[in-house]
């Protein structure tokens, strides 16, 4: 008798210890199945312990009804590290096959004593609190799901060991969910990842000291360490040289660390940094991260090159950017601005990060409809969100701003600059000429009506000149056909940054037009002539003399001359 009592007490103790020492969690809720709702809802439990758990007497509630778990033919003993899938009895009785072949044989399948989970099944219109109770009536695990999932995508728990609150749940990434096996949103076992790179200051000057911050995070489920290497490229050519390497101490799951390094902004005005982790983990896609910092001066070479402000019906508006000069430009610290009309640039959006090389093109789309345009393969597309970014058909002001608020370029376009025809873009004639000069714009003459990601149909082929003043083309034919409609006067002086004046003389020696420009930091400049005199009247077919005058800080004047032929069709 004494021996029998001892045995019974021991068995009771073991049973109690199994439940007390075990950790069972609600792991998945399929409340809006892809198949029939009356049969295909399910719940999933997971025994995250080394002890088995007896589910006899356990219940589940959705706040409207209480259901007792029943044996579905596999018993009710949940083994250590095992999943249990709670299915509706109608799934079996009505012959549903939605999850056949998906639930692994290692999972425990159980059912309930009523026809539906909860009072009337799991609601698709209002989130419900699903609660699991043990045989003693104590809450084991619970979660209030939020409706709005894509049909057939369950709510899944991220980590079985983490808290019960909503931050530990996500919508399933796969159709039909993951009944009886690892959740699609559960992190890898071992995953050390790079999550951020930042620079301080974010818009340095050449020679400034920069603090580089790299954030490393343990995104997995186990303790993990590794090695961080930092490399840099100051030319934007992808030729990185190693700066340093440092050990990353073991991080607990969910913990992060920030690596700080000191760099100096190079003379190129551009610094591209690559951070890389050397680690043995289950996800290598987040082991490398790159970012770029540039000076505000470097952004000065970014230009607006083409504007599709009046697309055909059902097509998208867009703006084309290009890089003038010899240095690459990173777009991440540049803002695009628009407004409600001429003079308004209050609607601003930061451009996505992209490294543009000299001569490259990139397209700005004002909404996601631009994704369906037939742009040349390989042309970067920078999509800006926000309904306040629109291109007005009656004219508009477009601007590019540096991170410090200074203007890189502003274009106040007007429909009369082109043909004002739907589906035909405005093209810039010469990148080196003021973008707000209407003579520098015209209607695209390509058969497609636009040239996104390509050289403009109106582009003048301006080459670096060794002479002091040249005219391209000569002769030119300002007849509005889009071919050789304007002449570009290119000049090179010894007075960089100084204003220059060009005067156009007819064969009688009369000045018919004055044109103004400013030499850049290399002493070069370009001025366009549309063939009109100072009164806006088209000049006659003839040879014209062009005289350039520019001065220096001491008051000395330098002169150069050339000739150009204007040919008007008869």
Write the pLDDT tens digit of every residue in 349-362.
888 888 888 889 99
Tens of pLDDT, residue by residue over 18-54, are 444 569 999 999 999 998 888 999 999 999 999 999 9
pLDDT tens-digit profile of 518-547?
A: 888 778 888 999 999 999 999 999 989 898
Residue 294 pLDDT greater than 90, yes or no: no
pLDDT of residue 309: 93
Q: Which helix (H) or strand (E) holds 131?
A: strand 129-133
State percent of the chain over pLDDT 70: 92
Band of pLDDT at residue 10, cut at 50, 70 and 90: very low
pLDDT digits (tens, 9 = 90+) for 384-432: 866 667 889 999 999 999 877 888 999 999 999 998 999 999 999 988 8
Give the 3-state secondary structure of residue 123: coil
E strand segments, 236-392 = 241-251, 256-264, 270-278, 288-294, 302-308, 318-323, 329-330, 335-338, 347-350, 355-356, 361-365, 381-383
Residues sharing a CB contact under 8 Å with residue 533, sequence separation 6 or more, in sequence order? 512, 513, 539
Assess contact for 117 and 67: CB atoms under 8 A.
yes
Query: Quick one: pLDDT at residue 386?
Result: 63
434 pLDDT more than 90: no
What's residue 554's pLDDT? 59
Is the peptide bond preceding residue 38 cis, with omega within 30 degrees of 0?
no
Query: Cβ neighbours of residue 415 under 8 Å, at least 6 residues apart?
Result: 309, 310, 393, 394, 395
Classified by CATH at the fold level, domain 192-294 comes out as Immunoglobulin-like (2.60.40)
What is the helix (H) or strand (E) element at residue 192, kind and residue range? strand 192-200
pLDDT at 525: 87
Residue 519's pLDDT is what? 81
pLDDT computed for residue 379 by the predictor: 87
User: Which of 533, 548, 529 is CA-nearest to residue 473?
Assistant: 529
* pLDDT exceeds 60 at position 9: no
**What does pLDDT average to over the chain?**
87
**Structure confidence at residue 461 as a pLDDT band (50, 70, 90):** low
For the chain, helix (H) and strand (E) counts, in that order, are 3, 38
Identical topology for domains 300-443 and 469-566: yes
Which residues are CB-neighbours of 107 under 8 A, at least 6 positions away? 82, 83, 84, 85, 179, 180, 181
Domain ranges of the chain: 19-171, 192-294, 300-443, 469-566
The fold for domain 19-171 equals: Immunoglobulin-like (2.60.40)
Pick the CATH number of 469-566 from 3.20.20.70, 3.40.50.720, 1.10.10.10, 2.60.40.4070: 2.60.40.4070
- What is the CA angle 413-418-420, rounded to 5? 95
pLDDT at residue 529, rounded to an integer = 94
Q: What is the mean pLDDT of residues 479-507?
A: 86
Calculate mean pLDDT across residues 450-454: 93
Q: If you average pLDDT over residues 296-308, what whole number do you get?
A: 85
What confidence score (pLDDT) does residue 556 get? 59
Higher pLDDT, 479 or 110: 110
Q: Give pLDDT tens digits for 120-165.
A: 789 988 999 999 999 999 999 999 999 999 999 999 999 888 778 8
- Secondary structure in 3-state letters for 454-471: CCCCCCCCCCCCCCCEEE
pLDDT attached to residue 133: 97
Is 158 in contact with 172 (CB distance < 8 Å)? Answer: no
Please check the confidence at residue 12 and state whether its pLDDT lies above 50. Answer: no
CATH number for the domain running over 300-443 = 2.60.40.1260
**How many angstroms from the chain centroid is the CA of residue 192?**
23
Burial class (CB in 10 A: 0-12, 13-18, 19+), 405: exposed
Handedness of CA 135, 138, 143, 147 (dihedral sign): positive
Distance CA 386, CA 317 (A): 13
In which residue are the tokens 């873009």 written? 425
First vs last Cα of the chain: how many Å apart?
A: 128
In whole angstroms, give the CA distance from residue 300 to residue 39.
Answer: 64
pLDDT of residue 11: 43
Of the given ranges (5-14, 68-77, 264-273, 471-480), which has the lowest mean pLDDT? 5-14
Tokens of 437: 């000069």
**Per-residue pLDDT, 150:** 94
| Lowest mean pLDDT across 168-182, 205-219, 456-470 | 456-470
What is the reported pLDDT for 342? Answer: 75
**pLDDT value, residue 462:** 61
């Amino acid at each position: 008798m004494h021996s029998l009592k001892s045995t019974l007490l021991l068995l009771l103790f073991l049973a109690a210890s199994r439940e007390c020492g075990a950790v069972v969690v609600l792991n998945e809720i399929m409340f809006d199945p892809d198949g029939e709702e009356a049969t295909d809802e399910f719940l999933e439990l997971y025994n995250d312990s080394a002890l088995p758990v007896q589910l006899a007497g356990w219940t589940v509630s959705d706040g409207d009804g209480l259901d007792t778990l029943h044996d579905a033919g596999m018993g009710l003993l949940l083994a250590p590290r095992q999943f249990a899938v709670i299915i509706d009895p109608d799934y079996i009785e009505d012959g549903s096959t939605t999850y056949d072949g998906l639930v692994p044989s290692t999972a425990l399948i159980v059912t309930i004593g009523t026809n539906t989970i909860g009072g009337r099944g799991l609601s698709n219109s209002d989130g419900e609190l699903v609660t699991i109770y043990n045989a003693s009536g104590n809450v084991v695990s619970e979660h209030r799901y939020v409706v709005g999932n894509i049909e057939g995508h369950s709510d899944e728990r991220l980590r079985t060991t983490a808290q019960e609150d909503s931050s530990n749940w996500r919508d399933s990434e796969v159709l039909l969910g993951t009944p009886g096996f690892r959740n699609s949103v559960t992190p890898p076992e071992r995953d050390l990842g790079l999550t951020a790179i930042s620079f301080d200051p974010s818009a340095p000057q050449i020679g400034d000291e920069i603090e580089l911050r790299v954030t490393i995070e343990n995104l997995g489920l186990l303790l993990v360490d590794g090695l961080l290497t930092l490399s840099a490229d100051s030319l934007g050519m992808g030729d990185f040289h190693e700066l340093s390497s440092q050990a990353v101490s073991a991080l607990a799951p969910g913990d992060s660390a920030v690596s700080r390094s000191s760099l100096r902004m190079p003379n190129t005005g551009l610094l591209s940094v690559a951070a890389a982790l050397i680690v043995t983990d289950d996800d290598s896609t987040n082991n490398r991260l790159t970012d770029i910092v540039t000076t505000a001066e470097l952004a000065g070479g970014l230009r607006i090159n083409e504007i599709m402000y009046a697309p055909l019906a059902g097509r998208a508006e867009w703006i084309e950017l290009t890089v003038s000069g010899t240095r690459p430009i990173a777009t991440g610290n540049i803002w695009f601005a628009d407004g409600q009309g001429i003079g308004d640039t209050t609607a601003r959006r930061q451009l996505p990060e992209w490294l543009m090389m000299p001569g490259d093109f990139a397209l700005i789309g004002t909404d996601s409809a631009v994704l369906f345009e037939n742009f040349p393969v390989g042309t970067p597309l920078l999509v800006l969100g926000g309904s306040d970014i629109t291109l007005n058909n009656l004219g508009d002001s477009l601007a590019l701003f540096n991170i410090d608020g200074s203007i890189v370029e502003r274009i106040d376009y007007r429909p009369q600059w082109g043909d004002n025809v739907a589906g035909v873009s405005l093209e810039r004639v010469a990148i080196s000429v003021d973008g707000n000069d209407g003579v520098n714009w015209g209607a695209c003459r390509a058969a497609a009506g636009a040239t996104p990601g390509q050289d403009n149909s109106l582009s003048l082929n301006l080459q670096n000149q060794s002479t002091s003043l040249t005219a391209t083309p000569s002769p030119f034919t300002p007849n509005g056909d889009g071919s050789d409609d304007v002449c570009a006067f290119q000049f090179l002086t010894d007075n960089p940054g100084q204003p220059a004046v060009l005067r156009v003389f007819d064969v009688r020696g009369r000045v018919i037009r004055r044109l103004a420009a400013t030499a850049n930091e290399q002493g070069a400049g370009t001025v366009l002539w549309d063939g009109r005199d100072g009164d806006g009247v088209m000049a006659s077919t003839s040879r014209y003399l062009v005289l350039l005058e520019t001065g220096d800080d001491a008051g000395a004047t330098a002169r150069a001359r050339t000739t150009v032929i204007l040919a008007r069709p008869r």
